[in-house]
Amino acid sequence: MKPHICVLELINESRMGMGRQLLASCLIGEENDRIKKLKLDKLLLYDSLPLYDKKDVFELVDLLIYKSLIKYVPVKNNKFIKILEITQKGLEEIKNPSEELKLSKSFEGFYSEIQKVTPEDKIVFEKLKEVLEDLSDEQKKAIICNSKNILCIAGAGSGKTRVLTKRASFLSNFRSAKNILCITFTRKAKNEMKERLDSMYPNNTIIIETFNSFCEKILKKYDSLIYKKPFKVMDFRSQIILIKDILKQDNISLDSALNMYYSKRQLYSKDKNTLFLKFVHDVFSLLDYQRNNNISDKEIQDLIYGHYDYRTSEMIHSIVHKIQKFKIKNGLRDFTDQIVHTLNFFKTHKEYIPKFDHVLVDEYQDINSLQFELIELLNPENLFVVGDPRQSIYGWRGSKIEFILDFEKLYKDTEILQLSTNYRSKKGIVDVSNNVIKTMKLPDLSSIQNEEGKVIIVKHDNIDSENLFVVQSILSLESPRNEVFVLARTNKQIEKLSEVMARNNIKFITRTIEQKKINITPELDQVTLSTIHAIKGLEASVVYLIGVNNQNFPCKASEHPLLEAVKMNDTYDKFEEERRLFYVALSRAKESLIINHTSVITSFIDQELHKKITKGKVKYQSDKKKYKTNKAILENSNSRLYQELKDYRYTKSLELNVPAYQIFSNNTLQELCSEMPASFEELKQISGFGPFKVQRFGRDIVSIIINHS
């Protein structure tokens, strides 16, 4: 029997609910007093996974939860205790098991032995003492290495940008290399690298470009050979205008388009403008996905129609088709077209491909198929790439982790180096980060700082309590506010917290992946609120993570429904990417890391690590007494909704001739205000809402909450 079926069968077989710990004990055949007392050792599936340990079982359970095959439900009359229950989807899985339901992907064996610093290297270091001053031995080796192709695995906070610029400078000034190209992903990274190189050697001739700026210069230089008429770049503003025009042509209002594309929950969680910008982003990302993977128009059409109702499919297909026609007719190219057109030109005019002695690529874990093909066509004499597989978090928009994992298979004469020292974070923070990402089987990072730093886990009763704690904690901080990050998995979490911060007169800036505000910088008195995707590459002294529960990590919400729909048959592993995203969040902190959660904490923090954080070198900080959300807090933060629900309860109590508390308790009203359920399924998770009350009052309650939103 397949391991995941054993888990499902045992949960189904058990007449009582089981928590994760008890379930794992039964599956591995552990004997203890509780198992004997409950006679669980008599179950048919007892000891069905004898070769597993508890960590393996926990990981399997988490994957089943993520796949919606099992779920947590609160124990009757006790919302703080939750047990596992099989879903209808889980029952169907038992009847027709999947071919393969994989556990966390192991990256062990992807790399040959990582090269260490040798005594011979140290002799060279001594000769170049002045050039390599203030660098670690690992960094020195990466800078002077003579191998033809080099992969430098640079962990979080290991100084990769410094190494990249130092190597480029070293090649130019001490190896007499003439044709050097450095490629980055963002204008911010490009400018930072250029400033560093100019400060070291003002007259350097090193070319520094983003993938897009490099391609745009090629297209402009050979414009007459590539195009029959002038072409210009289509920016994001032009994309917005174009899609609005297409919707008008198709007689579809903006409201109708959003209603077709998004779920009710998404519609009520964000304003129309934000949703529309996300929609524009998704449509053009679909076009990128098509070109990145060389998928035909017919295949894309089939993918769209396979995941949406007919009306929505027609709308999306019409937009995609008309965008392509409009661009060709009006001589426009978007950012992906820049690379596609350059590739096509190089393939037909190989004599115009520029020759480089050295090409250096930053953030190599994020490259997509088109960018990889461009590097292949450039075919440099020497290729140096730096990246971190642990921070590969853009698979949803086309990047492929396989390019960095398979580097030594793709390029002969390869040497693998590692930057394993973290200069950013204190030891305790590095240790926690290592533990979370250990499934990747890469060598741990070590901190250069001996101080432990502060790592705290705080459990909250609900979201309001969590937000209040963060606000009160920030108000008591001595650190400058611009050295404080509050990070969340979704935009919705940021929006909720920002309201509380505004009421408490805390100044802040927000960063989201859709805003693309690359150069936004907080003032001295401003806190940074950000999604994790938008904060990559940055750091702060104090980092608060909010919503670190098993709903957000891994995230079950669909942030980009169109992209996730078309990638269903792709190699994209969202579960593992979510783990890496969590790692990125943890590794932003320099001195203090405060992890906040409600309900069940993310499975990415296993029980062993949880114990280490809470009972080891740092104290567990409970918020139940000091920060418990009460009626006064809720009425202050969400007064209108709370009052509407109270009025509804009072009206129903008169209708039914029963006391108001028999309709709903005050605790239930408070939970409704904090959780904001927008469907019957979500309403069932609220304490005090059994099947009878959902049937009798559910429609009214959901309607009140949605109207309030």
Asked whether the beta carbons of 266 and 562 are under 8 A apart, the reply is: no
pLDDT score for 564: 66
- State which of 29-33, 39-43, 296-300, 358-362 shows the largest mean pLDDT: 358-362
The confidence band for 111, taking pLDDT boundaries of 50, 70 and 90, is confident
Average pLDDT over residues 201-228: 90
Average pLDDT over residues 272-287: 85
| CA separation for the pair 527, 436 (Å, rounded) | 26
Average pLDDT over residues 505-534: 80
Q: What angle do CA 173, 178, 183 make, to 5 degrees?
A: 95
Asked whether the beta carbons of 144 and 166 are under 8 A apart, the reply is: no
Q: Give which of 136, 272, 91, 285 is closest to 709, Cα–Cα.
A: 272
Q: Which is more confident, 436 or 479?
A: 436
pLDDT score for 274: 78
| CA separation for the pair 243, 284 (Å, rounded) | 10
Long-range Cβ contacts of 164-167 (<8 Å, 24+ apart): 164/193, 164/360, 164/362, 164/384, 164/386, 165/193, 165/196, 165/197, 165/200, 166/135, 166/139, 166/200, 167/142, 167/143, 167/360, 167/384
Asked whether the beta carbons of 534 and 478 are under 8 A apart, the reply is: no
Q: What angle do CA 25, 30, 36 make, to 5 degrees?
A: 95
Q: CB atoms < 10 A from the CB of 106, how many? A: 11
Q: What angle do CA 77, 82, 88 make, to 5 degrees?
A: 105
Paired residues of 543 in beta bridges: 485, 593
Whose structure tokens read 């594309």? 261
Residue 86 has φ and ψ, to the nearest 5°, of -75, 145
Is the pLDDT reported for residue 620 higher than 70? no
Q: Give which of 355, 392, 321 is closest to 582, Cα–Cα.
A: 392
% of the chain at pLDDT higher than 90: 31
Is the pLDDT reported for residue 552 higher than 70? yes
The confidence band for 565, taking pLDDT boundaries of 50, 70 and 90, is low
pLDDT score for 277: 85
Instruction: Return the axis-axis angle of helices 369-378 and 335-348, rounded to nearest 10°.
Output: 30
Sign for the pseudo-dihedral over CA of 475, 477, 481, 483: negative
Indicate the average pLDDT of the chain: 84
pLDDT score for 633: 38
Q: Give which of 556, 562, 675 is closest to 269, Cα–Cα.
A: 675
| CA separation for the pair 469, 258 (Å, rounded) | 35
Asked whether the beta carbons of 346 and 352 are under 8 A apart, the reply is: yes
3-state SS string for 64-108? HHHCCCEEEEEECCEEEEEEEEECHHHHHHHHCCCCCCCCCCCCC
Token pair in block for residue 530: 């950000």
Q: Give which of 165, 176, 236 is closest to 199, Cα–Cα.
A: 165
pTM: 0.74
pLDDT score for 309: 82
Q: CB atoms < 10 A from the CB of 198, how many? A: 13
Asked whether the beta carbons of 633 and 504 are under 8 A apart, the reply is: no
pLDDT score for 330: 86
Cα–Cα distances (Å) from 580 to 263, 573, 652, in that order, read: 27, 11, 49
pLDDT score for 136: 93
Q: What is the pLDDT of residues 471-482, one digit of tens each?
A: 989 998 888 999
Is the pLDDT reported for residue 514 higher than 60? no
- Residue 486: which H helix or E strand, with range? strand 484-488
Average pLDDT over residues 3-17: 82
Q: What is the pLDDT of residues 644-693, one digit of tens each?
A: 888 788 778 777 777 777 788 877 887 888 778 878 878 888 877 888 88
Average pLDDT over residues 285-312: 80
Average pLDDT over residues 553-565: 72
The confidence band for 629, taking pLDDT boundaries of 50, 70 and 90, is very low
Q: What is the pLDDT of residues 396-432, one digit of tens each?
A: 778 888 899 889 889 988 999 999 999 999 999 999 9
| CA separation for the pair 172, 178 (Å, rounded) | 6
| CA separation for the pair 3, 6 (Å, rounded) | 5
